[in-house]
Amino acid sequence: MPHEFEGHVHWHEPVGLTPAGLSRFRRPATAYDRFMENDGIGVTRGMAVADLTDLPLHDWPRTGGRGRYIQLNGTESLWGCYLVEVPASGALKVEQHLYEKVFLALSGRGTTEVWREGGRRHVFEWQEGAMFSIPLNARHRIVNATGEPALLLAGTTAPGVLNLLGDPAAVFTSAYAPAGEEDDELFTPFDDIAPDPVRELALCRTHLVPDAIGCDLPLDNRFSPGYRQMELEMTGTIFHAAIGQHRPGRYAKAHLLPVGAALICLAGSGYSHLWPETLGPTPWRDGLADAVLRVEHRRFSMMAAGPGGGRWYHQSFGTAKQGLRHLLWSGIAAPGRDPGSPGEEVIDPTAIDLPDGGSAIPYWLEDPIHRARHTAAMLEAGIVNRMRDDDYLPPNSDPL
């Protein structure tokens, strides 16, 4: 075996039957981690952000504004997130990049210009609560129309692209334009609702949602009776997003969300319980309540709903007279995109109860503490309790 020499570390085979390498080691930084670090604006990590508008921002020379990255537990390497502040009566620098980007306006109002080299410029307005998207590798410039700073939250597919290419210059200077994309159709408003081609859920294809906080949502019923939800496909992006709302007086069934999912509270208030699937469906009854996390919801709070490698139960409770409305971002981790062969049957376990092979815990199987706490919260807040005795009966039971 060769000897060591200066400036070179030689690998040695293990002795005897000792396994090679280390069984415990520190996770290495990815290309996207290094990219965030080089921007110098800081990264907020963890399970939740109590108020996105309260995070510290730092000067961001690359964009011309101030900002901060957000990487919640479980979103790492799946999708990126950041805050950017647009200067009062100013604008951000022109950008283009090989990843997709969706914005949620947290404050302010302004305009966004989008164009491709030699193509038509598209200009649209936005205000607080609006969502809009930027097509792949399109040039864009965000302008603040007021005398106060505007704050935007962005979700991107940057981690996958940067980790694959490894070179930011290749991501930000490419002349690539998607084939078959007609420039004049990039920003044609479209607010019709159609079934998505995979799960037949209510889907809106649009580049702009003028008011994600107050827009009408189609009836969905999957996570609670009266629950409403609209899937979003924004300018052809694969970045998965949806807006959902629980009816006042109702609470969600516990269910498993996909790894990398995050919820941004748009309206209402309340809380969520999260616990790993390994604790089972009734951690309170089984003496494991100390391992359950509680996350508070308020306007523009944000939480990881599928932390770590996923497989965590998530259950939301609204405590205000206004319905609890949230924006779901899960990058590309939407059901039906898991590994497998085209054409094989795939189930969405979040929409199927445990006894039927899914992951949702029906009310009749949940910890009784949920019903008791919800009843007390509704009484204290003066909200009509819309949960019914029948909701807690197993299928085929005689009504009470």
- Mean pLDDT taken over the chain: 90
31-173 and 212-225+242-336+349-392 in the same fold: yes
Contact 367, 285 (CB under 8 A): yes
pLDDT tens for residues 26-62?
999 999 999 999 999 999 999 999 999 999 999 999 9
Confidence check: pLDDT of 353 > 90? yes
CATH number given to 212-225+242-336+349-392: 2.60.120
Report d(CA 160, CA 289) in Å as an integer: 36
Contact 335, 258 (CB under 8 A): yes
SS (H, E, C) the chain: CCCCECCECCCCCCCCCCCCCCCCCCCCCCHHHHHHHHHCCCEEEECEECCHHHCCCEEECCCCEEEEEEEECCCCCCCEEEEEEECCCCECCCECCCCCEEEEEEECEEEEEEECCCCCCEEEEEECCCEEEECCCCEEEEEECCCCCEEEEEEECHHHHHHHHCCHHHHHCCCCCCCCCCHHHCCCCCCCEEECCCCCCEEEECCEECCCCCCCCCECCCCCCCCEEEEEECCCCCCEEEEEEECCCCECCEEECCCCCEEEEEECCEEEEEEEHHHCCCCCCCCCHHHCEEEEECCCCEEECCCCCCCEEEEEEECCCCCEEEEEEEECCCCCCCCCCCCCCCCCHHHCEHHHCCCEECHHHCCHHHHHHHHHHHHHHCCCCCCCHHHHCCCCCCCC
Confidence check: pLDDT of 185 > 60? no
pLDDT tens for residues 110-165?
999 999 888 888 999 999 999 999 988 999 999 999 999 999 999 999 999 999 99
Query: Residue 267 — pLDDT band, cuts 50, 70, 90?
Result: very high
The most confident of 23-27, 63-67, 175-179, by mean pLDDT: 63-67
Confidence check: pLDDT of 387 > 80? yes
**How buried is 60 (Cβ within 10 angstroms: 0-12 exposed, 13-18 middle, 19+ buried)?**
buried
Better-scored residue on pLDDT, 395 or 355: 355
Query: Residue 257 — pLDDT band, cuts 50, 70, 90?
Result: confident
Residues 6+ apart with CB under 8 A from 134: 100, 101, 102, 103, 112, 114, 140, 235
Q: State which amino acid sits at residue 180.
A: G
């007021």: which residue's tokens? 146
Report d(CA 280, CA 386) in Å as an integer: 27
**Which residues on neighbouring strands pair with residue 136, listed in sequence order?**
none
Contact 261, 305 (CB under 8 A): yes
Q: How many CB atoms lie within 10 A of CB 381?
A: 14
Report d(CA 140, CA 95) in Å as an integer: 6
Nearest Cα to Cα of residue 54 among 90, 91, 83: 83
Confidence check: pLDDT of 266 > 90? yes
Quote the pLDDT of residue 187: 65
Quote the pLDDT of residue 199: 86
Quote the pLDDT of residue 3: 56
Q: Phi, psi (5° rounding) for residue 69?
A: -80, 150
Better-scored residue on pLDDT, 9 or 150: 150
Report d(CA 336, CA 316) in Å as an integer: 24
Quote the pLDDT of residue 348: 83
Span 239-267, average pLDDT? 92
Confidence check: pLDDT of 184 > 60? no
Report d(CA 258, CA 5) in Å as an integer: 49
Quote the pLDDT of residue 188: 59
Quote the pLDDT of residue 349: 85
Report d(CA 116, CA 137) in Å as an integer: 8
Confidence check: pLDDT of 183 > 80? no
Span 295-307, average pLDDT? 92
Confidence check: pLDDT of 2 > 70? no
């080299």: which residue's tokens? 117
Quote the pLDDT of residue 263: 95
**Domain regions of the chain by residue span:** 31-173, 212-225+242-336+349-392
Report d(CA 96, CA 271) in Å as an integer: 38
Nearest Cα to Cα of residue 114 among 185, 203, 205, 180: 185
Quote the pLDDT of residue 198: 83
**Which residues on neighbouring strands pair with residue 109, listed in sequence order?**
127
Quote the pLDDT of residue 180: 59
Confidence check: pLDDT of 83 > 80? yes
CATH class of the domain comprising 31-173: mainly beta
Please report, for residues 111, 173, 306, 308, 338, the alpha-carbon distance to residue 259 in angstroms, rounded to integers and kept in the order given: 34, 31, 5, 7, 11
